[in-house]
């Protein structure tokens, strides 16, 4: 029998996501020494202490001509808090990524749920493969918030009821919706992050258009902001060359 919950927690609702860079080993110099080993061998180690600005042309060349492996010799670990449905889209990105997510088998899940903010476009117009999202009416936003909040409350009450009756967490969690917030560590390198951003963000400089769900795009935008501070020359080359991963 699992431990019974000691106190009923009332659901809370959020429209945001959070991304924290918790650990990294990532700099533009990582790209340079990895690339120059091809021609300089052990002398490429000298690049570690040099100013990467003098070699930003090399970074741009590697990006433009899609020599991708030098962009893999770095690492960034993010702590992300977002709805479960965002993480299920995340898991489609497997190459160059590592994940560890909180588990509903081993802990009682907190009642924090996603409700779209007023700026979230609600209405899909057009056919599959050729559609756009447009603003919803005040009535549609009110309906969405009311129905989602009522559903979340009912689901969490059912979850609590089963836990109190001794049902295992891994079974009771089945009633909880994908709008529940979860948290995870996600580790990647610059190359895998660029591939993610190319698919999961919209950008005016993108050579290949993408149509991501807004909630995962919100996560991508925050990750990109952190990466741009760590590797500004690589980030600039990514934008200059159409935001296509090398």
Residues labelled catalytic: 200
Q: CB 156: neighbour CB atoms within 10 A?
A: 23
For residues 175 and 155, give the distance between their C-alpha atoms in angstroms, rounded to a whole number: 6
Helix (H, G, I), strand (E, B), or coil: what is residue 100?
Answer: strand
Backbone angles phi, psi at 178, to 5 degrees: -75, -5
Residues 214/84, Cβ–Cβ less than 8 Å: no
How buried is 216 (Cβ within 10 angstroms: 0-12 exposed, 13-18 middle, 19+ buried)?
buried
């Amino acid at each position: 029998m699992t431990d019974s919950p000691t106190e009923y927690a009332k659901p809370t609702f959020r429209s945001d996501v959070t991304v924290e860079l918790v650990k990294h080993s990532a700099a533009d110099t990582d790209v340079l020494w990895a690339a120059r080993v091809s021609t300089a061998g052990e002398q490429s180690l000298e690049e570690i202490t040099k100013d990467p600005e003098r070699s930003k042309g090399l970074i741009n060349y590697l990006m433009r001509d899609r020599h991708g492996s030098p962009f893999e010799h770095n690492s960034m670990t993010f702590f992300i808090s977002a709805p479960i449905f965002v993480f299920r889209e995340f898991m489609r990105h497997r190459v160059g990524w590592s994940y560890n997510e909180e588990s509903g088998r081993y802990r009682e899940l907190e009642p924090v749920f996603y409700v779209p903010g007023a700026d979230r476009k609600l209405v899909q117009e057009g056919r599959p493969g050729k559609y756009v999202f447009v603003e919803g009416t005040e009535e549609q936003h009110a309906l969405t918030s009311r129905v989602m909040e009522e559903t979340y409350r009912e689901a969490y009450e059912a979850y609590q009821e089963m836990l109190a009756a001794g049902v295992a967490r891994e079974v009771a969690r089945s009633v909880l919706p994908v709008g529940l917030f979860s948290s995870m560590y996600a580790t990647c390198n610059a190359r895998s992050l660029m591939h993610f951003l190319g698919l999961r963000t919209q950008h005016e400089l993108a050579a290949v258009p993408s149509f991501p769900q807004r909630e995962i795009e919100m996560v991508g935008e925050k990750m990109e902001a952190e990466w741009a501070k760590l590797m500004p020359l690589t980030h600039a080359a990514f934008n200059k060359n159409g935001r296509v991963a090398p």
